[in-house]
Amino acid sequence: MTPKQLFWRRLLSEWRLKHTAWSTTIDWTVALYIIIPGLIIATVSYIRLWNQLPAWAVGLPTAIPLLLISLYTWTGTIRLFLEEADQLFLLQRREWTRQIMRCGMGYSAVCSLLTTFFVFFILAPFLLLGCGLSIKQLFLLFALAFLLKMNVGLAKQFVSLRLKAWIAKIVLIILFIPMQVLFVMGASLLLAHFPLCYACCLLLALTLLLLIKIRLEIRGTFLDDIARENHEKLKDVSIILGISGVSIKKPSLKRKRPVFYSRFNHLFREYSAVNRLTEACIKSFLRNKNGLILYINLVFIGVLLVRVPNWSVLILWPFLAIALALWAKFHWGDVITSDYIKLFQWKSEDVHEAARRSIFLLSSPGFLLISFALGFSLWNWAGAFGILPVGFGLNHCVTKLISMWYHA
């Protein structure tokens, strides 16, 4: 048994797993009535694109397909094909591990090459006929996209391995937008100057070789690599289960403790059943990453909606309070029905009072921020601060009404 043979065995095993997963979903009826007609329609539509582009695609700005290509380069990762058993048998044999990692990176490069070709195959009519690129420019853009995708895949791994999970996500979010702008503007410039484009491709190729060398030399990341490999290996199964309504939560690679209130600090000094239930609800919210992201998105959408300097947004204002209160009510329902909370006996009046307080405390910060944005859009700074007491009272009334609907 050689490292390459072991890699091929693992690759074939993974493809058998993927085939088994998809074969349970795609039978001959699905293929006959959905997939084959879909492929025929897609082929006919694609041929028509080469004959005549739609009116909206004639004179298409180059920035639009470049942005799509840039977004594509941020997808996926670099596979290493390491497994849990390697820590027992192969971790001491460093050269075997590195050889398997090299094979995994080569496999990732082939997959990236094929997916990049597919993306450019789809965009070719728009790039050549709509944007007016030449064949030479199209191939150079293809090389840029492929090399950039490989570099980005390795760079994202370095960020996730060296930083804590939440810091890594913030760093990637900060880098995401400038990278998109840089690629769109830089690719347009490079395609107009071929020597610069050749030099950039060479630089990206050398950078890729350097990143591969560094990645092979990194130590102490075995468990993180295993978690990533397991996620990639089971991605197709996760998609199929997700379509069926079953979700598989991706395990956190870095952070084991919550960002907020990782210790058992009390929020309220008075020890009572209402305070303990309210505290459990608030801490559960602050420790739930997905809940925090959803809450921030809801508030952000609300701020965008009320930023229109028109009196009609006053009609929308109370409905935003209701939306946030309903979201807080749903979160309260998840907390009060959790297995831990159900271990204790709670009085009905305590549960109702805790529900009212929890819904009010969770919805108030977001709704006050929305109210501040509403007041500023209509009456500038004076209105922004003047509307806060009104928003506080409105949210209190809405919370009271919403909490009355809750049944313990």
Domain ranges of the chain: 3-241, 273-404
Per-10-residue mean pLDDT for the chain, 408 residues long?
88 89 77 83 90 82 89 90 80 83 94 95 91 91 94 91 77 84 88 90 94 88 86 78 56 46 58 80 79 82 77 79 85 80 78 84 88 85 86 86 65
Alpha helices in 163-193 (DSSP H): 165-192
At residue 322's C-alpha, the angle toward residues 319 and 327, to 5°, is 130
Note the pLDDT of residue 407. Answer: 47
Going from the C-alpha of 153 to that of each of 116, 118, 272, the distances in angstroms are: 14, 18, 51
Two tokens, residue 156:
């994202």
The answer to whether the CB of 224 falls within 8 A of the CB of 160 is: yes
Going from the C-alpha of 150 to that of each of 104, 198, 356, the distances in angstroms are: 13, 17, 51
Cβ burial of 236 (10 Å; 0-12, 13-18, 19+) is middle
The closest alpha carbon to 307, from 365, 384, 364, 239, belongs to 384
Cβ neighbour number for residue 333 with a 10 Å cutoff: 13
Note the pLDDT of residue 181. Answer: 85
Note the pLDDT of residue 105. Answer: 94
Q: Whole-angstrom Cα distance, residue 405 to residue 397? A: 13
Note the pLDDT of residue 109. Answer: 95
As a whole number of Å, the end-to-end CA separation of the chain is 63
Alpha helices in 287-347 (DSSP H): 289-306, 313-336
Note the pLDDT of residue 260. Answer: 45
Residues 6+ apart with CB under 8 A from 374: 306, 313, 314, 317, 387, 391
Cβ neighbour number for residue 142 with a 10 Å cutoff: 18
The answer to whether the CB of 138 falls within 8 A of the CB of 66 is: no
The closest alpha carbon to 81, from 282, 267, 233, 218, belongs to 233
Note the pLDDT of residue 224. Answer: 86
E-strand ranges in 201-309 read none
| Kind plus residue range of the DSSP H or E element containing 254 | none
3-state SS assignment for residue 247: coil
